[in-house]
Amino acid sequence: MIIGYARVSTQEQSLDLQTDALRTAGCQEVLSEKVTGKQRERPELQNCLRMLRKGDVLVVWKLDRLARSLKDLVGLVIPPKNRSSYKQKIPLN
Annotated catalytic residues are: 9
Specify the amino acid at residue 92.
L
Q: What is the DSSP string of 18-58?
A: HHHHHHHTT-SEEEEEE--TT-S--HHHHHHHHH--TT-EE
